[in-house]
């Protein structure tokens, strides 16, 4: 099962992808997390990505495609993969299709999460992330037991640099211009079922809808 999580910043792709991958044993590949790890480690990839990420722009396709091909080459796709934050442009989607084709695979589901912009801005403003174990919290909806500390590993939580309101507005514009066209790309003949799920509900309700979609019981187009 190859699943793509699609949707604007803050809609819950990471939260839901983690739950799905834990429940089903799929490998969770999150390009944003990979890039942030590369930045923390100070690698060449991290240095190249930094300025784009801080402005809320997409990292160039050739950098991202190379990174994802390397990751996909090291996983067993037969065990299931959930792609979170990739592809984000039509050239990335075409490159993914070519890579999977070489393995005799294709995208099975595109899970499109939606929510109004004001909800997204509030969620992103309230997000706090653990830089060590990756657990994600929200000061409004899902606060840690101790303010500013990760429940899972005790590390100090951070507010992502690209989560300030101005950069979030830019990221939303980038999503509309560069990533939303993927919905038609997949709907118009790329062979994967696109299932739209209202992400403006509780985490549990969204999770149930996504499980139904993965199991082929959601309304796909």
171 binds ligand AP5 (CB under 6 A): yes
CA distance 61 to 88: 9
| Contact with ligand AP5 (CB under 6 A) among 4, 19, 31, 209 | 31
CA distance 159 to 123: 12
What is the number of other CB atoms lying within 10 angstroms of the CB of residue 192?
Answer: 20
Please tell me the chain's helix, strand, coil percentages from 3-state DSSP, rounded to the nearest 5. Answer: 50, 15, 35
Let me know if 171 is a catalytic residue: yes
Which residue's structure tokens are 């796709």? 77
183 binds ligand AP5 (CB under 6 A): no
Question: How big is the site for ligand AP5, counted in residues (CB under 6 A)?
Answer: 36
13 binds ligand AP5 (CB under 6 A): yes
Contact set for ligand AP5, span 194-213 (CB under 6 A): 202-203, 206
CA distance 99 to 69: 7
Cβ distance to ligand AP5 smaller for residue 65 or 214: 65
136 binds ligand AP5 (CB under 6 A): yes
109 binds ligand AP5 (CB under 6 A): no
**Cα angle value 32/33/34 (rounded, 5°):** 90
| Contact with ligand AP5 (CB under 6 A) among 47, 141, 181, 219 | 141
Exposure of 71 in the CB half-sphere (CA atoms within 13 A): 19
Binding site for ligand AP5 (CB under 6 A): 7, 9-15, 31-32, 35, 52-53, 56-59, 64, 85-86, 88, 92, 123-124, 126-127, 136-138, 141-142, 162, 171, 202-203, 206
**Active-site annotation, residues:** 13, 88, 127, 160, 171
């Amino acid at each position: 099962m190859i699943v793509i999580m699609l949707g604007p910043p803050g809609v819950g792709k990471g939260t839901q992808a983690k739950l799905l991958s834990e429940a089903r044993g799929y490998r969770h590949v999150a390009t944003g997390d990979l890039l942030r790890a590369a930045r923390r480690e100070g690698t060449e990839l991290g240095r190249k990505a930094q300025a784009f990420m801080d402005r809320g722009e997409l990292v160039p396709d050739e950098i991202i495609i190379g990174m994802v091909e390397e990751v996909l080459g090291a996983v067993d796709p037969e065990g299931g993969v959930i792609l979170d934050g990739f592809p984000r442009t039509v050239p990335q989607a075409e490159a993914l299709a070519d890579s999977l084709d070489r393995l005799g695979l294709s995208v099975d589901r595109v899970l499109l999460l939606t929510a109004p912009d004001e909800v997204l801005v509030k969620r992103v403003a309230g997000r706090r992330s653990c830089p060590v174990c990756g657990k994600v919290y929200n000061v409004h909806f899902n606060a840690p037991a101790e303010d500013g500390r990760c429940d899972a590993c005790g590390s100090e939580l951070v507010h992502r640099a690209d989560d300030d309101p101005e950069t979030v507005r830019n990221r939303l514009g980038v999503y509309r211009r560069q990533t939303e066209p993927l919905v038609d790309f997949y709907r118009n003949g790329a062979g994967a079922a696109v299932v739209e799920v209202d992400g403006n509900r509780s985490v549990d309700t969204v999770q149930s809808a996504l499980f139904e979609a993965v199991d082929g019981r959601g309304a796909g187009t």
